[in-house]
Structure 1
Amino acid sequence: MNTLGSLIRRDLRIAMRVGGGALIGVLFFLTVVVLMPFALGPELPLLKRLGPAILWLGAMLASLLTLDRLFTSDQEDGSLDLIVMSRTPLELVCAAKAFAHWLAVGVPLIVATPVLGILLNLEPPAMFAVALTLLAGTPALTLIGMIGAALAVTMRRGGLLLAVLVLPLSIPVLIFGVAASNAAIAAPGSFGTPFSILCALSLVALAVGPFAAAASLRQGLD
């Protein structure tokens, strides 16, 4: 457990550096949300209707944008080989790195959501509904993206592979995240179903992601 805790703290320090990923994700999220009102025009009812989808799309892209650094820094300093050969199960290491990435990137996006919702004319209940769905759904985005990051770090032109592989797998999370947000605003009684599916997607990603990422790293580094 001390090893995993040290690994989480190390990844958090790397993510908080300039160019480490955390700041890039938040700035990208802010840019998407700020530009959307200019693209859609000054119609407040339209912004209010599309607000949850804009916030979810921005958060998803911001989260995936930083995933290429999940294993790259370890590969660059040579610690990736040591991690794979260590006595700590590689699956636990992958889960710890995913948790650190979610803390560094996912949590700031969730915290920023109620503030940025003001730009989209969302009412406070709608803002917090979107933040709640992001809290349930962003772990799935991180865990799914971790699989692509593990594959990409062991291959040439891995960045292209990361985008091609991860984006289609992330679409169900986006669909149910937006559906749950819209249900919380328009029909609170129907919020439970899409939100439960969103939570289930995160649990499935937690059960599959670390094992798939560990297998990809072992296969790619052999």
Structure 2
Amino acid sequence: MISLLMRDLRLAVRAGGGFGLGLAFFLIVTVLVPLGVGPETGLLAKIAPGILWIGALLACLLSLDRIFALDWEDGSLDLLATAPLPMEGIVSIKALAHWLTTGLPLVIVAPGLGVLLSLPQGGYFWIVVSLLLGSPALSVIGTFGAALTVGLKRGGLLLSLLVLPLYVPTLVFGAEVARRGAEGFAVQTPLLMLAGISFGAVALLPFASAAVLRINLR
């Protein structure tokens, strides 16, 4: 499992489909929003948590089609399916590699980009907490979508259409945690909902993704 994880991390970095692309897109979204809505500090502070979450969500979405695509193209996915490692374990490792190369860097740079959006002082901690808790769900849900569309030509658009509705609950509760934290309100309810979504996705979706992959590989 460790060897598979290290292989996927190397592929993500070399292929340029994860780390650099996601960070660049996140930065572009954060820079363009003040240019579009104006430099008013009060308005930027109000929308900053939602904008940061939307930027992180879309940045994660960019690299989803590469989770299984490279393995499908070179035949590695067929070999992995016959390996002693269960397919659920393979899917989990793929999701973890995606999170480490895309989700975790976004969590790290989010406070710095929050400065560009005039994020209130109390919001920096909660934007990190919400992204750290919610971004694994984005990777796991995205892995399920990638399993559904693996092998399809130009499946990136279909993948986006399938995954975006599933991302909505994570986006809503993640942005709400950051917003309430920035405004000094209680965050327990949206935080627990966000944690429930993430833990539920991590616990259940690898089995669904593995079942879909077995069907696609027949």
- TM bucket (normalised to shorter chain) is over 0.9
Q: Where do 5+ consecutive residues of structure 1 fail to align?
A: none
Distance 1:160 1:20, change over 3 A: closer
CA distance in 2, matches of 1:182, 1:20: 30
What displacement does 1:124 show? 3.5
CA contact (8 A) 1:151 1:158 kept: no
Letter of the aligned partner of 1:7 in structure 2? L
The secondary structure found in structure 1 opposite 2:95 is: helix
What displacement does 1:212 show? 1.0
2:44 equivalent to 1:47: yes
2:66 equivalent to 1:69: yes
Q: How many residue pairs were aligned?
A: 218
Equivalent pairs: percent with the same residue?
49
CA distance in 1, matches of 2:155, 2:208: 17
Q: Where do 5+ consecutive residues of structure 2 fail to align?
A: none
2:204 to 198, 205, 208: 208
CA distance in 1, matches of 2:203, 2:151: 23
Task: State the Cα deviation string for residues 199-221 of structure 1 (Å, max 9, x = none).
Answer: 10001101121111111110011
2:143 equivalent to 1:140: no
Could you say what the CA RMSD is over the residues aligned between the two structures, in angstroms?
Answer: 1.1
CA distance in 2, matches of 1:63, 1:19: 13
What displacement does 1:36 show? 0.4
The farther-off stretch of 150-159 and 169-178 is 150-159
1:193 to 176, 189, 195: 189
2:84 equivalent to 1:96: no
TM-score (norm 2): 0.97
CA distance in 2, matches of 1:204, 1:154: 27
Q: Pairwise mapping of residues 164-203 of structure 1 onto structure 2 (< 5 A)?
A: 164-188=161-185, 190-203=186-199
2:102 equivalent to 1:105: yes
